[in-house]
Structure 1
Amino acid sequence: MYRRLTKNPNYYNLQGVSHRHLSDHLSDLIENTLNNLESSKCIIIEEDVYLKPSNLGLIASYYYISYTSIERFSTSLSTKTKMKGLLEILASASEYAQLPIRPGEEDQIRKLIHHQRFSFENPKCSDPHVKANALLQAHFSRHTIVGNLAVDQREVLLSAHRLLQAMVDVISSNGWLSLALLAMEMCQMITQGMWERDSMLLQLPHFTKDLAKRCQENPGRAIETVFDLVEMDDEERRELLQMTDSQMLDIARFCNRFPNIDMTYEVLDADDIQPGEDATLLVTLERDLEGRSEVGPVDAPRFPKPKEEGWWLVVGDSSNNQLLAIKRVSLQRRAKVKLVFAVPKDVGKKSLVIYFMCDSYLGCDQEYNFTVDVKEPK
């Protein structure tokens, strides 16, 4: 809790120079800033004197993003938001307002827009937010961007993770399960430079869409994931991929780095769960490091700087799209995590889901159903 500043009626002169106007200006600046923060629901002002941060304010501060961005996320996101809308809201962040529009660049942006997955309604190519959207979609589609646009795309990507993680927190505060999972998937897309509908094998070095299709159409057994590829016999894999020894070595390095995590869980005091009370889910995570001593940075050549992987654990009720608990997890070799969630108010067995979501790779997320048995109150 912070005490609000008030105007001081006492003014002082230094060497005959009045500071009254400077103090008035400073007080007005503080007052306007506080009013803006309050209207954006980032702070709460009590009794016109005391200040405290709201949940939105804490999120904006933690991820170091503009209060106008967090306000836009809060007012624009809804349970009906889909991938296209999520992308538009991300690109509308104030952090992208300063993207330059250079002379002659509008035609380049217009051409870029025409080749993207999601269309734009009456796009204004001089709008930096439209440019941000186009550069993000080009990144997911792996279109080659050169020159100044490539520099701008790098800046867009470097801010995207912070903005998306803030989005996840805003969405979670509203308890929207499917939209939170979608925002987490977009984090994976940012890191790997691909769409969520693309073959997961495109994360692997030297893979093309044609090769991924050939793997999917492999006679006898479709190869669709990294784990499918790892489980193949060496000779069968070599015959399917038809790569050089050097390329196969790159594939092996990626597969050894790809997260292979064993997850177990249990509901504590499962025999004594009563309506409306909190329950605790204990999750144990253990990674197979494939002989390595540490995890190391994510294998993501399309992301502009080294990145450490991160995870979310989520408990949700998929029957009513309700997110019940969420926690960020940083995992090296082994971790135990407790998730506290509110149990349903109805007596009886209730089916819930636990999700383990990565922010860096596609195809390594885990999802399990579990049941809580809500007893009659004693």
Structure 2
Amino acid sequence: ACETQLPVSFRHLILPEKYPPPTELLDLQPLPVSALRNSAFEGLYQDKFPFFNPIQTQVFNTVYNSDDNVFVGAPTGSGKTICAEFAILRMLLQNSEGRCVYITPMEALAEQVFMDWYEKFQERLNKKVVLLTGETSTDLKLLGKGNIIISTPEKWDILSRRWKQRKNVQNVNLFIVDEVHLIGGENGPVLEVICSRMRYISSQIERPIRIVALSSSLSNAKDVAHWLGCSATATFNFHPNVRPVPLELHIQGFNISHTQTRLLSMAKPVYHAIMKHSPKKPVLVFVPSRKQTRLTAINILTTCASDVQRHRFLHCAEKDLVPYLEKLSDPTLKETLVNGVGYLHEGLTAMERRVVEQLFSSGAVQVMVASRSLCWGMNISAHLVIIMDTQYYNGKIHAYVDYPIYDVLQMVGHANRPLQDDEGRCVIMCQGSKKDFFKKFLYEPLPVESHLDHCMHDHFNAEIVTKTIENKQDAVDYLTWTFLYRRMTQNPNYYNLQGVSHRHLSDHLSELVEQTLSDLEQSKCISIEDEMDVAPLNLGMIAAYYYINYTTIELFSMSLNAKTKVRGLLEIISNAAEYENIPIRHHEDNLLRQLSQKVPHKLTNPKFNDPHVKTNLLLQAHLSRMQLSAELQSDTEEILSKAIRLIQACVDVLSSNGWLSPALAAMELAQMVTQAMWSKDSYLKQLPHFTSEHIKRCTDKGVESVFDIMEMEDEERTALLQLPEAQIADVARFCNRYPNIELSYEVGDRDSIR
């Protein structure tokens, strides 16, 4: 072994300031639901609970009886969503046609809140509740008619960037941000930018937009609250142990470094933890992957059978399960459910997930095993939560990495049944070396820092296009609205500052702005005049309009040319920066290698662990309508959610250069992606329920277009298609809506055309 000693200087180290103590939970009389003083509002809660919990009671007056901006920091499962509802009810009391925007960083959470609030506010209070789609023209219509708009940060960023032209963005009365602690996460910069923008809009239109922020307990909540304009009296930052249901936490260490071996060694301890802490009450087990859900469910049942108590986790008659099991296609899942253990992963359909969740929530099935990524989208809770290992395989870096601490907190939060349990329990099974880490961060509030300084380019570009930033000074002023600016003075070394004087801060911001604008200039997104003024260029405007990365638009500009065809377009779009986070799972390269043999456009020297190669293959598989595994299908959906925007940006780049042929090819590709077919395929492929057999029967009879189908006699059509009546009705509906356009034209002044 070799050792080297180096002196480390702490001379210039500036420690962050000591954090203030958390908000004390006061011993208040629980507020009855009647405190809302409105019979319609009281009706929303009366059938669920008679009193609000201690946290809701303490924040009630500030949230419901004032218009102050409010910060509420409390552990997951503390009832913060009801605190947000207080603010909505306050807004509706003051203005029955008021507009509220609710932001949550997770798509799954947005859908969950939408379903809950649709029933609560639309069906009961007759207020329009809408969920944004990410498609700008649709979202503008939804924004115009919605009273309560539910969105992810990215979708609101797309809409609010052009706030000067969009009155409905300016007319927001209430802006609720859930899970605000995730500004420290991967997509945190977008969350930070939209919150800063709403405060900026409020200052520009000189009308208050109330902000209500909900978060986990934070050690630096004061900075977050100050950034969002919350006064000290409207900042509630409770300690992590302040839960409506007290939590008993056990952390179990395993001194095995190899991940798969460690998971194997945890199998029996999981069963023993169930028997010790929750032999009869509901149990939720989180595991790192989809594959592990099935393995763990089988392991629990195997150990249970060896205990000669095979059906101990099933709490209903087996015959009562039959109607539910008929809706499932996975034979292993059916088998485990019959024995009282269910599992959930990304590969199940929405219907299958609903069935399994229903069986667990009703108490018929006692144990549920769920994959890590579902912790944000599940509306179920248990008496005992077991976290079986805290590492997962990250395909991007081809290594096992730790769960984000916020995911762990979210999992722990599922051990929460306020009306049924006096306490919840949680067992965390992790590597021995991680025990102290979890002890610290699960018992104490977390600090949160900004990452905006690492990805400012796209946000700067968008603000330059909308003329919020017209020179370098505007860019510096823009940063003063951000959380990044607040934290730079509080924790300077974290942001590479050597001091906190006005000069240090000014120099650092100027350097940050200079570097960012210089990168945008090199990408031909903006121009810089007289080393001060900035103006958007065509590429920058295209990138901002279609919400794409500045490096992607640079790639398009450099790669597209007058001879680009569909094959080239697919390659260029697949290489967009937007796809660099498409997950590559363990051993998935073999699946992708097989897929590459089946697609029409073969790739040269593909690396099957490259997310861009995977994107290309899945786009081609989509156009060929290939059957894919559930995981690859969910990846395809993620790819398709961005594909049309990227193709439309290609059309704009090509048409700006006057290249007609590739521009038409890109337009055709957009239609191909929408219809999931290649341009050479039969037009009949667009029709619902049409398989290759149907198309072959039709072409054999000389029926080749939608119009041929429409012109057939009813009996002849029915005999040819051999479809059930309901499906024939779908085909008829499609045919009746199919556009029939006649185009006539003449060329004037032929001789002037070159």
CA contact (8 A) 1:91 1:129 kept: yes
Aligned to 2:458: none
Aligned to 2:708: 228
Aligned to 2:267: none
Normalized against structure 1, the TM-score is what? 0.65
Q: In 2, distance between residues paired with 1:78 and 1:230?
A: 41
Q: In 2, distance between residues paired with 1:231 and 1:198?
A: 21
2:554 paired with 1:66: no
2:623 paired with 1:155: no
Q: Deviations over 1:219-243 (max 9, x none)?
A: xxx2211112112222222232232
Aligned to 2:727: 247
Residues 24-33 or 37-46, more deviating: 24-33
SS of residue paired to 2:590: helix
SS of residue paired to 2:473: coil
Q: Deviations over 1:85-119 (max 9, x none)?
A: 11001111111111121221222222221211110
Q: In 1, distance between residues paired with 2:473 and 2:557?
A: 28
SS of residue paired to 2:747: strand
Q: Deviations over 1:280-313 (max 9, x none)?
A: xxxxxxxxxxxxxxxxxxxxxxxxxxxxxxxxxx
Once the 2 structures are TM-superposed, how far is the Cα of residue 29 of structure 1 from its aligned partner? 1.8
Q: In 2, distance between residues paired with 1:254 and 1:240?
A: 17
Residues 131 and 247 (structure 1), Cα distance of their counterparts in 2 relative to 1, 3 Å cut: same
The number of aligned residues is 265
Aligned to 1:78: 561
Give the alignment partner of residue 112 of structure 1, picking from 595, 601, 620: 595
Aligned to 2:63: none
Aligned to 1:174: 657
Residues 126 and 375 (structure 1), Cα distance of their counterparts in 2 relative to 1, 3 Å cut: closer
Residues 20 and 105 (structure 1), Cα distance of their counterparts in 2 relative to 1, 3 Å cut: farther
SS of residue paired to 1:52: strand
Give the alignment partner of residue 622 of structure 2, picking from 139, 142, 153: 139
Q: In 2, distance between residues paired with 1:6 and 1:59?
A: 22
Once the 2 structures are TM-superposed, how far is the Cα of residue 245 of structure 1 from its aligned partner? 2.2
SS of residue paired to 1:102: coil
Once the 2 structures are TM-superposed, how far is the Cα of residue 40 of structure 1 from its aligned partner? 0.8
Q: Deviations over 1:17-46 (max 9, x none)?
A: 435444333222211111111111100111
CA contact (8 A) 1:4 1:51 kept: yes
Q: In 2, distance between residues paired with 1:107 and 1:70?
A: 32
Q: In 1, distance between residues paired with 2:475 and 2:708?
A: 68
CA contact (8 A) 1:141 1:194 kept: yes
Once the 2 structures are TM-superposed, how far is the Cα of residue 154 of structure 1 from its aligned partner? 0.8
2:564 paired with 1:96: no
Residues 17 and 373 (structure 1), Cα distance of their counterparts in 2 relative to 1, 3 Å cut: closer
Q: In 2, distance between residues paired with 1:57 and 1:40?
A: 9
Once the 2 structures are TM-superposed, how far is the Cα of residue 190 of structure 1 from its aligned partner? 1.1
- Opposite residue 28 of structure 1, the aligned amino acid is E
- Opposite residue 692 of structure 2, the aligned amino acid is K
Once the 2 structures are TM-superposed, how far is the Cα of residue 185 of structure 1 from its aligned partner? 1.1
SS of residue paired to 1:44: strand
Q: In 2, distance between residues paired with 1:142 and 1:226?
A: 20
Q: In 1, distance between residues paired with 2:575 and 2:746?
A: 38
Residues 162-171 or 229-238, more deviating: 229-238
Q: In 2, distance between residues paired with 1:257 and 1:105?
A: 41
- Opposite residue 703 of structure 2, the aligned amino acid is I
2:749 paired with 1:373: yes
**Structure 1 residue ranges (4+ consecutive) displaced by more than 6 angstroms after TM superposition:** none
Once the 2 structures are TM-superposed, how far is the Cα of residue 189 of structure 1 from its aligned partner? 1.3
Q: In 2, distance between residues paired with 1:95 and 1:44?
A: 24
Which ranges of structure 1 fall in alignment gaps of 5 or more residues? 9-13, 264-367
Give the alignment partner of residue 698 of structure 2, picking from 207, 215, 227: 215
Q: In 2, distance between residues paired with 1:241 and 1:74?
A: 47
Q: Deviations over 1:327-349 (max 9, x none)?
A: xxxxxxxxxxxxxxxxxxxxxxx
Residues 49 and 234 (structure 1), Cα distance of their counterparts in 2 relative to 1, 3 Å cut: same
Q: Which has the higher helix share?
A: 2
Residues 17 and 375 (structure 1), Cα distance of their counterparts in 2 relative to 1, 3 Å cut: closer
Aligned to 1:35: 518
Once the 2 structures are TM-superposed, how far is the Cα of residue 145 of structure 1 from its aligned partner? 1.8
Residues 16-25 or 158-167, more deviating: 16-25
CA contact (8 A) 1:6 1:27 kept: no
Residues 145 and 23 (structure 1), Cα distance of their counterparts in 2 relative to 1, 3 Å cut: farther
Residues 261 and 372 (structure 1), Cα distance of their counterparts in 2 relative to 1, 3 Å cut: same
- Opposite residue 3 of structure 1, the aligned amino acid is N
Residues 369 and 180 (structure 1), Cα distance of their counterparts in 2 relative to 1, 3 Å cut: farther
Q: Deviations over 1:44-73 (max 9, x none)?
A: 111222110001111111111111111111
Q: Which has the higher strand share?
A: 1
Aligned to 2:675: 192
Once the 2 structures are TM-superposed, how far is the Cα of residue 374 of structure 1 from its aligned partner? 6.1
SS of residue paired to 2:535: strand
Aligned to 1:49: 532
* Percent identity (aligned): 54
SS of residue paired to 2:564: coil
SS of residue paired to 2:568: helix
Structure ID, larger Rg: 2
Q: In 2, distance between residues paired with 1:118 and 1:36?
A: 34
Residues 112 and 23 (structure 1), Cα distance of their counterparts in 2 relative to 1, 3 Å cut: farther
Q: In 2, distance between residues paired with 1:81 and 1:375?
A: 30
Q: In 2, distance between residues paired with 1:374 and 1:185?
A: 28
